[in-house]
Structure 1
Amino acid sequence: MQIPHNSFKAAIVEGRQQIGIWCTTPHPAHAEALATCGYDWMLIDTEHAAVGLETVHAMLQAAAPWPTQCVVRPGSLDLVEIKRLLDIGAQSLLIPMVNTAEQAQLAVAATRYAPQGLRGYAGISRATHYGLVEDYATKAAGEICVLVQVESVEAVANIEEICAVDGVDGLFIGPADLAASMGYPGQGAHPEVRTVALDALARIRACGKPAGILTLNAEFLAAAHSAGTTFTAVGVDQALLLNAARSLAAEWKAKG
């Protein structure tokens, strides 16, 4: 059996726009439902959502029959957590708070087997189709997509060095934490934050790397898209649910 093809990685490497949605609700049925909605990719978030390893496993299984590709965000740059996510079948990872080239190198190493990296080997796992994928250990790196988050003043200053790290497949701007790092906590769409973020996107693209972003500010999102984002998250499940629910409640309460 052949290793599963990572169509998300192939698309961003080729420069094809991939539109995504954030999935923060910890349930496989929810992931399955979102996977039917037509997005190119879906971010399963374990950093800022109550999504544990077993739930990620079930969410990956639930979404698997649909064309939407899953990207998983671990809670941190943690080698053990990353190893376990890879073993349950995650092929694309978004690593938060990568501020330096050295941290980017560690993120890549966490996804590679020795002698290139630090990933521990498990022969019978969902990633290997329970031992059926031929030569998984030598082929895995080619289908694993490593995305790193640029979300601090330090990371922005180091963009070119991070881009130069072999094995980094894309850089993702996180405006919320970047805003806090710049002294504007809670103001992810502040004009100065937008200026820095858009310049960062241009620098990432100038280095020849795919760039991504998530912002719920429509104007900012349109500007980022125009600046050349390749993997663009356009919504968050909880925000979509709450906005629709609140709007419906307000509409009917207004009728008296």
Structure 2
Amino acid sequence: MTALRNPLKSNLAEGRLQVGLWCSLGSAVVTEVLAGAGYDWLLVDGEHSPNDLLSIIEQHRAASAYETEVVVRMRSHDPDAVKQFMDSGIRSFLFPFVQTAEQAQALVRATRYPPHGIRGYSVSQRANRYGRVKGYHPLAHEECFVAVQIESGVAAQAAADIAAIEGVDAVFIGPSDLSADLGALGNPHDDGVQQTIRSVLELGRDGQTVTGVLAPLEEDARRYIDWGARFVAVGSDLGLLTRHGDALAARFRALDIARPASA
């Protein structure tokens, strides 16, 4: 038994568009339903959602029956947490608020065994199917996917240097935090914010750099893809539930059928 190929990593390296969805509800059932919808990847959020290691493992397990890659957004850069998540079977990561190439390099090292990194060695864990995947340790990094979030003006200016770090597979725009840092809190459509987003996404046009973004509005997603994004989240489980739940309720409230008067 050998390590399974990471289709997200290989497809992005070949320049293919990979469309994903954010999973924020902390539910293995919801994640399993969405895993069968046809998205290339699902992001399980460990930063702004009520998730922990165990709930993320359950979502990863639920999605594993489908052809979608589970990406986990970590809550921090803690290398001990990275080690624990990797031993638990997570191989694709999105790290928040990376400001410099040095930070990116440290995160890559956290996902690699020595001599290329500092990941602690465990003989048998979920990642190598409890010891059944032969040759896992020296090859684990080949299927590990590392994306880092660009969420400030400083990070946007350093994006090319960050993307150039060996082992960084993608740079990913966080429009909300970026807009806050650039003085347009809650308004990612501000002209200055959009210009900054475009400057990062267009790095993807060189054929070597992978750029991505969270874009819950379809018109935004299409524009960002035109600008060079190939690693694109087009919505979230929470957004789908609230938008369609609210719309369904509103349609029936609009009927406003009067109840018959009491006899």
Secondary structure at 1:22's aligned position in 2? Answer: strand
TM-score where L is the length of structure 2: 0.94
Q: Does 1:78 align with 2:78?
A: yes
Question: What pairs up with 1:46-85 in 2 under 5 angstroms?
Answer: 46-85=46-85
Kindly provide the amino acid, as one letter, of the partner of residue 88 in structure 1. S
Quote the Cα distance in structure 2 between the aligned partners of 1:171 and 1:153.
14
Q: Deviations over 1:175-217 (max 9, x none)?
A: 1110011011111222221121012111244372111110223
Who is 2:12 aligned against?
12
Q: Deviations over 1:133-190 (max 9, x none)?
A: 1121100010101111111111011012112211111111111110011011111222
Secondary structure at 2:58's aligned position in 1? Answer: helix
Who is 1:32 aligned against?
32
Question: What pairs up with 1:160-239 in 2 under 5 angstroms?
Answer: 160-206=160-206, 208-239=208-239
Secondary structure at 1:187's aligned position in 2? Answer: coil
Query: Structure 1: any 5+ residue segments left out of the alignment?
Result: none
Q: Is the Cα contact below 8 Å between 1:89 and 1:127 reproduced in 2?
A: yes
Quote the Cα distance in structure 2 between the aligned partners of 1:205 and 1:173.
15
Superposition deviation, residue 246 in structure 1: 0.7
Secondary structure at 2:134's aligned position in 1? Answer: coil
Q: Is the Cα contact below 8 Å between 2:217 and 2:234 reproduced in 1?
A: no
Query: Structure 2: any 5+ residue segments left out of the alignment?
Result: 257-263
TM-score where L is the length of structure 1: 0.97
Superposition deviation, residue 218 in structure 1: 3.0
Superposition deviation, residue 25 in structure 1: 1.3
Q: Deviations over 1:32-85 (max 9, x none)?
A: 111011111100111110011001111111100101111111101111111111
Superposition deviation, residue 112 in structure 1: 0.5
RMSD: 1.1
Secondary structure at 1:127's aligned position in 2? Answer: helix
The alignment-based identity, stated in percent, is: 39
Quote the Cα distance in structure 1 between the aligned partners of 2:119 and 2:41.
25
Q: Is the Cα contact below 8 Å between 2:215 and 2:232 reproduced in 1?
A: no
Secondary structure at 2:128's aligned position in 1? Answer: coil
Who is 1:147 aligned against?
147
Secondary structure at 2:171's aligned position in 1? Answer: strand
Q: Deviations over 1:90-139 (max 9, x none)?
A: 11101111110000001101100112111111111110110011121100
Who is 1:106 aligned against?
106
Kindly provide the amino acid, as one letter, of the partner of residue 179 in structure 1. S
Who is 2:252 aligned against?
252
Q: Is the Cα contact below 8 Å between 2:152 and 2:182 reproduced in 1?
A: yes
Kindly provide the amino acid, as one letter, of the partner of residue 13 in structure 2. V
Question: Which 4+ stretches in 1 moved above 6 angstroms?
Answer: none
